[in-house]
Structure 1
Amino acid sequence: MLTTRYVPGTPSWTDLSTPEVEAASAFYGTLFGWAFRSAGPGAGGYGMFTLGAQTVAAIGPTAEEGGESEWTVYFHTDDADATTKAVELAGGTVRFGPFDVFTAGRMAGYTDPTGARFAVWQPGERRGLDAVTDVNTLCWTELTTRDPDRAKEFYRSVFDWHIQDMPMGDGVYGLAGPAGTGMEATHSGIMGISDQMREMGLTGTEWNVYFEVVDCDAVVALAEAQGGRIVMPATTMQDIGRMAVLADPFGAKFCVMTSATGA
């Protein structure tokens, strides 16, 4: 499960790039009760999503005209420069090299060899998200890819992940966690794109974010009423919970989950 005890290779931050920061903030505010707090006049429109006093995600304008609206997963690193070298050696692509974000920390962005985009965060004054796994916060990250074996090899090399494959339908689901830990420390999943996913149009190689909610079906209905789109209807996964894949009004996909009791 995700925790805020961040160690190298664990998800520590997520943000949304969108062409409409104000409207997107209103959408997620209605859905999750989040408030927007600007990061300041020098931040280029970037800001934090807060729940009470806790930072639970972030949002900013797309970096280029016509840029894609998407959620990005950031993994903790103690050394963004060393991680960048590891990414290159493992066959990944550097989208932007390490740079300082004021005094908050240091970040870099990459594309893995199967085409999925992700980033890393080296903490300064900002260690990471203040809350995860609570209601209306990030609870899981998941990679869908056309080449799960190549992806597993890459992330093992870059982050030293331990990945355990579990049967799922006709395929397998890789559960990733820090090396030397057990199932209780898993934080991400890696899965191949199934025929069922293709039928729903879920064909992208990408990292996905999951937010915990009290009532998955109610959130799906609310998202649709606010201009969002249902990508995958609410579905119950045995021993896991009830989940759905949605897209916000500007096209960014995200997932919501009501975890099974005891899951």
Structure 2
Amino acid sequence: MKQDKVTTGGPCWVEHGSADPKAATRFYGELFGWLAETDERPEAGGYTFMKLDGAFAAAVSPLFGEGQPTAWSISFAVADADATADRITGAGGSIVVAPMDALDFGRFAIAADPSGALFGLWQAGRLVGAEVLNAPGALGWVELLTRDPGGALAFYPAVFGWTVTPSDQYPQWGLAGADFGGMLTMDDRFPPQVPAHWLPYFVVEDVDVTAARAGNLGADVLMPPSSMPDGPRIAVLRDPAGAAFGIYRARADD
């Protein structure tokens, strides 16, 4: 990721929706060094901020919807959640949760692209989003996994104004050419029941060491540490509750 602060249109927040929030805070606290800070107001519903060296890095939340799986979700910063929701439906997407206020933190919505991949919109109030990005222990990259790459390449630039670095294997998303994510086409390696989705990657100092530590904490390794051609070293993991996430160490010149 070439962005180290929240930028309108870019990824700004990552949230772990969990059936066991306390277990999730323990796991990620040990893995990334995050400290949990729960909003004790009853209306906050147990929402817990995860801090890295005192800065907001992510959140852990209880599940609020019936049938909602334990999973990571990614939100993108917008100036106007209601106007962006209109653009989403105009571009062929759908609104799952209509724009609404999140206490005094900001205004949010949950949307789906035409292939069904879910993502959030975040219009900042008191909370701008993550206070640390692209640093060890923080969100550093986001990846769309989809079976409709052509539809995604039309949809997201229309909604957010993203630039696209073209590639037959791995197109990359950006803002004004500053890439923050990529797109992977789901092929036969992915079981048909796995839906299109967004996957967060967190920056780490050492992918191999972190993957081993995650395994010792009860995680599964979905993709073992691997070095991408002319790219970073990455791994994809599944936490003990079943939520997938990636880790990576960028090249020195990224």
Normalised by the size of structure 2, how large is the TM-score?
Answer: 0.95
Asked whether 1:160 is paired with 2:152, we answer: no
Post-superposition Cα deviations, 1:207-244, rounded to whole Å, max 9, x if no partner, equal 00000111111111111111111111111113322111
Q: 1:136 to 1:5 in 2, by over 3 A?
A: closer
Does the aligned pair in 2 maintain the 1:220–1:230 contact within 8 Å?
yes
Structure 2: state its 5+ residue gaps: none
Q: 1:203: Cα distance to partner? A: 4.7
1:129 aligns with: 130
Give the letter for the 2:88 counterpart: V
Asked whether 1:259 is paired with 2:253, we answer: no
Q: 1:247: Cα distance to partner? A: 0.6
Asked whether 1:198 is paired with 2:190, we answer: yes
Asked whether 1:187 is paired with 2:187, we answer: no
Distance 2:55 2:5 in 1: 15
Distance 1:107 1:124 in 2: 10
Q: 1:92: Cα distance to partner? A: 0.7
Post-superposition Cα deviations, 1:136-166, rounded to whole Å, max 9, x if no partner, equal 1100001010011101101011111111212
Post-superposition Cα deviations, 1:243-262, rounded to whole Å, max 9, x if no partner, equal 11001111000000122222
2:213 aligns with: 222
Q: 1:191: Cα distance to partner? A: 2.2
Post-superposition Cα deviations, 1:63-88, rounded to whole Å, max 9, x if no partner, equal 13452011111001000000110111
- Superposed CA RMSD in Å reads 1.6
Structure 1: state its 5+ residue gaps: none
Give the letter for the 1:48 counterpart: F
Post-superposition Cα deviations, 1:166-213, rounded to whole Å, max 9, x if no partner, equal 2xxxx42111112xx22xx11111221244x438x9954110000011
Does the aligned pair in 1 maintain the 2:5–2:133 contact within 8 Å?
no
Number of residue pairs matched by the alignment: 253
Distance 2:165 2:52 in 1: 33
1:174 is matched with which residue: 140, 157, 171? Answer: 171
Give the letter for the 1:112 counterpart: D
2:144 aligns with: 143
- Runs of 4+ in structure 1 over 6 Å off: none
Does the aligned pair in 2 maintain the 1:15–1:71 contact within 8 Å?
yes
Post-superposition Cα deviations, 1:38-91, rounded to whole Å, max 9, x if no partner, equal 122221011100011101111101113452011111001000000110111111
1:233 aligns with: 224
Normalised by the size of structure 1, how large is the TM-score?
Answer: 0.91
1:248 aligns with: 239
